[in-house]
Chains A and B, each alone.
Chain A
Amino acid sequence: MTSKKRYERPVVTKHYSGFMNKIGTSSFSKPMKEIDGVQVTELVEKFGSPLFIISERRIRQNQRNAYRIFKTRYPKVQFAWSYKTNYLNAVCSVFHQENSWAEVVSEFEYDKARALGIKGDNIIFNGPDKNKSALIKAIKEKSKIHIDHFDELYDIIEICDSENLRAKVAIRVNMDVGVYPKWDRFGFNYENGEAWQAIKRIVSNKNLELIGLHTHIGTYMMSTEAYRIAASKLASLARSIKEQFEIIIEYIDLGGGFASHNTLLGQYLPAEETIPSIDQFADAISSGLFELNFRQDELPFLILETGRALVDDTGYLVSTVLANKRLSDGKKALIIDAGVNILFTGFWYKHKITPAQDCGLHTEEAAIFGPLCMNIDVVRESITLPLLKKGDRVVIEYVGAYDMTQWMQFITLRPNVVMIMEDGSVELIRQAETLEYITQRELIPEKLKSKS
């Protein structure tokens, strides 16, 4: 028995001259009916729509590839999972199983990592906001504290004095690596000598042990040369530290910031074709580090806090078409059940959006709006898609980074997140929110309580 053919509404396609044929190039790939061998529709039926899906296999693959790429170029490499990129416990746990440490930027993230069983000395504590209680805890648990500014340094010195503790510290350094915008708001500047000042300050204090140097030159970096410069500047700092203070630092942390394969809104060509591969970033970093000229047994570890490049393509958001519309200028619009409150990265990426079921050859330009009753809820200004009708599903790709941390509960509730495990089973890793969950922290003053 042949199944009934799918009905598609009629469409008028404007012909342009100059294309190779009258239809033009097909601007979307085949429908994405399954992820890691699991049917998308089945998942949505079971877990609801919208639905975040994360692939365990992809995470492990990405992390192993990254290790392979860096370790064949430089002998000592350690990754630290950037919690802010995606701190769902299940996701962090996969990274930790792949030998990643934790890189955290707040007390909340620090506690989260500790609760996952990560030992203090496998936690890198970054960020400009570390309050005193967090610092005391981190110092006691021997975590690696990356100092961001002098006031923090003074705090640490004071804590160590009063609590009689010894702290393992590194400093975050910012520098001119020839890219714009210059990230000079984090850490101590290299060129104006502040970094050296901070180093001198640290090594002269008996309670502080300088163990590393850290820089993080930006985010979604598209230049590998910037990394070579950063690595070589930190290498020269490490050399000076060795020469002047006879301290051999344990590691150089080059942060993260490698671009993922998501295309920025302003980019014309797709990211796959324009951004460097991790191999190229690794080549640049290792050639910068060779300026260390240390003996083999003195070589510091290279620490990487790569977040986006390891997790972005492991996440999918499945959403359902709520309605079709025609706008005032005649353009088509599509309303789906996933808005910018859960697809935060929609503000800067042109995500790849693919239908989750078979569809016809014809396509049309459309805007995609989310379900929020807010004008800003634009998932995409304009995209070429096949004709979709109410109830059809789309898969939004590359949503593994930042979406599940920057999302917010706004107007609607945040949906389920599932992980497709290596063996093909599906596990719920974050339950959809409920009214009780949202309101349980709320208090109503007595006089406002309604009397029934």
Chain B
Amino acid sequence: MQPNKFFNYSFLMFIDSILYSYAQIFFSNRRWLGALILLVSMLMPTLGLMGLLGVIISNVSAAVLKFDSVKIRSGFYGFNGILFGAAIAYFYPLDLFLLMLIPIFVIITFFISSVLEHYLASSFNLPGLSLPFIVSLYIFLIFLTNYPQFIHQRLVFPYDTYISWIPNSIQLYFKSISLIIFQPGVLSGIIIAIGVLIFSRVLFTLSIISYLVSILFLNFLLPQAADNLIIVVGFNAILTSFALGGSLILPSKKSFVLVLISSIIVVIFTGFFYKLFSTSVLPILVLPFNFIVLSVIYSLKFRKEQSDLVLLYFSPGSPEENLYYHNNRSTRFDRFKYFFPELPFYGEWYVSQGFDGQYTHKDKWRFAWDFIVVDENKTQFSNDGNKLNDYYCFKMPVSSVLDGKVVKVIQSIPNNEVGEVNLDKNWGNTIIIDHGEGLLSATSHLDPDTIKVKENDYVLKGDVIGTCGNSGRSPYPHIHFQFQITDKVGDKTYLFPFAHFIEKHDDKLVAKSFDYPKQDTIIQNIVVNKSIKKAFNLKLGDKYDINFELNGKKFQESWEVKVDIYNLLYIENDKHDIAYIYLTEKVFYFSNYTGTKKSALYHYFLSAYQVPLCYSEQLVWEDEYAPSQVLGTSVRFLSEFFLSFKYFIQAKANFSFTQSEDSSTSFNIKNIISVYGSGFLSFYKKEYRCNVDISDAGYLDSYSVTDNKDYKFSAKILLSNGE
């Protein structure tokens, strides 16, 4: 790196670390919000400058001591410094002595915060919140009591007067918000509230609700409470609602109720601390908020089921983005398992009995399948069906669904004549395979003469283990398949899905992932297409250069495939936008995207959101985007006031393969993205068409995204994997 570039880079990092620190105070990761709060804090220049001094000293200390630069940039170490600096200016008139003391105390704050954060994180897996600030402020205040010349005082705000036409109760709300950064003025409160509104509708709604509930409760306990008390209760309630209703816990109906309850608890704890500290010099400040949030979050960790009131488990964005990300991830990937079983046969078979079937799949055996082969008229035999040989599935190969060790083979039971059953040895010839980790599979009614494995053999996924027969309780040839957790023949079934398969409909084939074949459907395994697999089988270090055109303007971009510390593959472009990849043996997924929506990478993320690595012109498949991931959904902002209760915007992907007219590419993946509203947004509807062209040699060739009006994106890949 050249010195000049290095300087630029460091300078940008420095600015980022300041802005993110300001944003962090309101649980935000937006630079613009940080900048807005920084500006607002300058309404009282002394306060503002002291806050700025605090964050600069904190971040510089962290950088000099070589703390993690990513954490410094995110504002992790800085926001306690802001609060400390601002608080000092709030409580004391500044003089030279204080100005000398402050840097030292900011450094103390920094050390306390790095210790506390680490201790809370490693011992309790909790965030530090603003506890470090409180601790170091208390140290400072108590320390200064040794010097009676320092008496803390309140500052008066001249601009309060000319907006006095606003009702006092509303003024108090804005004052509560602005007190979070020690600005007890209405104007700064209004500006911050607008900033919060733009950042997150969820947080804005919560701030009003929690303020109202806490103040009403306070009023019920203590009518005519002093404004100061109302403001302290108010800002603790607001911060608590931010943390519990959206920022540390995902927004939901339950978290909304939690906010209502905690708003009342805030009043109680404020009262408690008020009394506790009444004889001391210590102000209450954000102590109730820290206390309540930490104890609630900590106690929630001991639940048996974590499926609701979900604690944030990934690097946060806005509450909206967090919820979208979480819901999208759980609808798409929650059913995914560690194992990837495929169907136990070749070609198309028919599910003649599924779960909770009408014949035998009941009670203990409800999660089992019977498979047969049928022709296009859904008949399972040719001729008159009186001979075993007439049945299409008879003696057809049966394969292992996963790698594993054969633990049981029963192969001495003769095939029944058509229509007869062997109730004595009802499971018939059966092979049980142990796939490890406690998962076993059993295939029954096999043909006695063609079993190809012995006990203790190791088999691979797809290996033929025998053929379909008519032994046991089987009036006509079929196979019975179940997952189970023991090696006992005929044991209880275990619910486990097949990883990837194709369901045949009258006019199309539908790709399914981690799903359970349904009764009366025709299903088959996915057969991997070499070229498509090559195009999507991304490997660490793969590079792409792309020329693209967005609404008439031309750009260039380059990508590289990287892997993070969690072994997740992702594509990063030269502007540091990131698209995360999830790749199984048979299907490619983009799991998430972070960055600008103007990049070529973003459009590729949209276009190739899910791609099965096979080819059939009849194949279609579907997927779902998070509403925030698709283009032009600003209408969703309206719905986000109610996001804790309901989703009003959906974004679906409908994929198919199309035959290309152009002979230079062999495979075309078409994706129609439809974004539509429901409820009061049901007027909203938008459609985007994506196309991905893959060359026959297995290279990404070009792709495009257009809507039905004037949105036009097209990209041409100049270099892919060095070719």
Chain A contacts to B: CB under 8 angstroms: 60-61, 64-65, 67-77, 99, 117, 119-121, 141-142, 250, 286, 290, 295-297
User: Closest approach, in angstroms, between the C-beta of B711 and any C-beta of chain A?
Assistant: 30
Given known contacts A68-B375, A72-B393, A290 and B464 CB-to-CB distance under 8 angstroms? yes
Chain B residues with Cβ below 8 Å from A286 are: 397
User: Closest approach, in angstroms, between the C-beta of B27 and any C-beta of chain A?
Assistant: 47
User: Closest approach, in angstroms, between the C-beta of A331 and any C-beta of chain B?
Assistant: 39
User: Closest approach, in angstroms, between the C-beta of A117 and any C-beta of chain B?
Assistant: 7
Given known contacts A68-B392, A72-B349, A75-B346, A141 and B663 CB-to-CB distance under 8 angstroms? yes
Within 8 A of A (CB), among B64-121: none
B396 touches A250 (CB 8 A): no
Within 8 A of A (CB), among B387-402: 392-393, 396-397
Given known contacts A121-B696, A290-B464, A71 and B666 CB-to-CB distance under 8 angstroms? no
Chain B residues with Cβ below 8 Å from A77 are: 347
Chain A residues with Cβ below 8 Å from B463 are: 296
User: Closest approach, in angstroms, between the C-beta of A403 and any C-beta of chain B?
Assistant: 26
Chain B residues with Cβ below 8 Å from A71 are: 346-348, 524
Q: B373 in the interface, Cβ–Cβ < 8 Å?
A: yes
Q: B528 in the interface, Cβ–Cβ < 8 Å?
A: yes
Given known contacts A65-B375, A99-B616, A142-B696, A72 and B666 CB-to-CB distance under 8 angstroms? no
Option from A72, A76, A295, A297 in Cβ contact (under 8 Å) with B345: A72
Within 8 A of A (CB), among B604-623: 616-617
Option from A60, A65, A70, A117 in Cβ contact (under 8 Å) with B659: A117
Bound Cα distance A295, B585 (Å): 14
Chain B residues with Cβ below 8 Å from A99 are: 616-617
Chain B residues with Cβ below 8 Å from A74 are: 346
Bound Cα distance A64, B374 (Å): 11
Q: B506 in the interface, Cβ–Cβ < 8 Å?
A: no
Chain A residues with Cβ below 8 Å from B462 are: 75, 296
Bound Cα distance A250, B530 (Å): 9
Q: Which of B346, B349, B375, B525 counts the most chain A CB atoms within 10 A?
A: B346
User: Closest approach, in angstroms, between the C-beta of B645 and any C-beta of chain A?
Assistant: 47
A295 touches B397 (CB 8 A): no
19 A-B interface contacts by CB (under 8 A): A65-B375, A68-B348, A68-B375, A70-B347, A72-B393, A72-B396, A73-B347, A73-B396, A75-B347, A75-B525, A99-B617, A119-B663, A120-B663, A250-B530, A286-B397, A296-B461, A296-B462, A296-B463, A297-B528
Bound Cα distance A219, B349 (Å): 31
User: Closest approach, in angstroms, between the C-beta of B220 and any C-beta of chain A?
Assistant: 70
Bound Cα distance A72, B464 (Å): 12
Q: B527 in the interface, Cβ–Cβ < 8 Å?
A: yes
B346 touches A119 (CB 8 A): no
B346 touches A72 (CB 8 A): yes
A72 touches B663 (CB 8 A): no
Bound Cα distance A296, B530 (Å): 13
Chain B residues with Cβ below 8 Å from A72 are: 345-349, 373, 392-393, 396-397
Option from B373, B525, B530, B616 in Cβ contact (under 8 Å) with A68: B373
Chain A residues with Cβ below 8 Å from B384 are: none
User: Closest approach, in angstroms, between the C-beta of B525 and any C-beta of chain A?
Assistant: 7
Chain A residues with Cβ below 8 Å from B530 are: 250
Bound Cα distance A315, B487 (Å): 55
Bound Cα distance A383, B282 (Å): 118
User: Closest approach, in angstroms, between the C-beta of B448 and any C-beta of chain A?
Assistant: 18
**CB-based nearest B residue for A209:** B697
Within 8 A of A (CB), among B437-487: 460-464
Known A75-B525, A142-B663; further 18 A-B contacts with Cβ < 8 A: A64-B376, A65-B376, A69-B392, A71-B524, A72-B345, A72-B347, A72-B392, A72-B396, A73-B347, A74-B346, A75-B462, A75-B527, A76-B527, A119-B660, A121-B696, A142-B666, A286-B397, A296-B460
User: Closest approach, in angstroms, between the C-beta of B344 and any C-beta of chain A?
Assistant: 12
Chain A residues with Cβ below 8 Å from B396 are: 72-73
A119 touches B666 (CB 8 A): yes
Bound Cα distance A71, B528 (Å): 15
Bin the interface of chain B by size. 20 to 34
A73 touches B397 (CB 8 A): yes
User: Closest approach, in angstroms, between the C-beta of A120 and any C-beta of chain B?
Assistant: 6
Bound Cα distance A157, B345 (Å): 42
Option from A64, A120, A121 in Cβ contact (under 8 Å) with B375: A64
Chain A residues with Cβ below 8 Å from B375 are: 64-65, 68
Q: Which of A61, A65, A71, A290 counts the most chain B CB atoms within 10 A?
A: A71
Bound Cα distance A197, B171 (Å): 92
User: Closest approach, in angstroms, between the C-beta of A113 and any C-beta of chain B?
Assistant: 13
User: Closest approach, in angstroms, between the C-beta of B459 and any C-beta of chain A?
Assistant: 11
Bound Cα distance A7, B242 (Å): 100
Bound Cα distance A451, B127 (Å): 109
Bound Cα distance A142, B698 (Å): 13
Chain B residues with Cβ below 8 Å from A65 are: 375-376
User: Closest approach, in angstroms, between the C-beta of A309 and any C-beta of chain B?
Assistant: 15
Chain B residues with Cβ below 8 Å from A297 are: 528, 585
Bound Cα distance A75, B501 (Å): 13
Chain A residues with Cβ below 8 Å from B464 are: 290
Bound Cα distance A295, B660 (Å): 32
1/0 per position for B372-415, CB-CB distance to A under 8 A?
Answer: 01011000000000000000110011000000000000000000
Bound Cα distance A286, B346 (Å): 12
User: Closest approach, in angstroms, between the C-beta of B453 and any C-beta of chain A?
Assistant: 14
User: Closest approach, in angstroms, between the C-beta of A234 and any C-beta of chain B?
Assistant: 19
The 8 closest A-B pairs by CB, nearest first: A71-B347, A296-B462, A72-B347, A75-B346, A72-B396, A121-B696, A64-B376, A76-B527
Within 8 A of A (CB), among B323-360: 345-349
Bound Cα distance A68, B528 (Å): 19
Q: Which of B393, B527, B660 counts the most chain A CB atoms within 10 A?
A: B527
Bound Cα distance A75, B400 (Å): 13
Option from B346, B376, B397 in Cβ contact (under 8 Å) with A61: B376
**CB-based nearest B residue for A211:** B530
**CB-based nearest A residue for B660:** A119
Chain A residues with Cβ below 8 Å from B376 are: 60-61, 64-65
1/0 per position for B649-683, CB-CB distance to A under 8 A?
Answer: 00000000001100100100000000000000000
**CB-based nearest A residue for B373:** A72
User: Closest approach, in angstroms, between the C-beta of A327 and any C-beta of chain B?
Assistant: 42
Bound Cα distance A119, B531 (Å): 15
Chain A residues with Cβ below 8 Å from B528 are: 297
Bound Cα distance A65, B527 (Å): 19
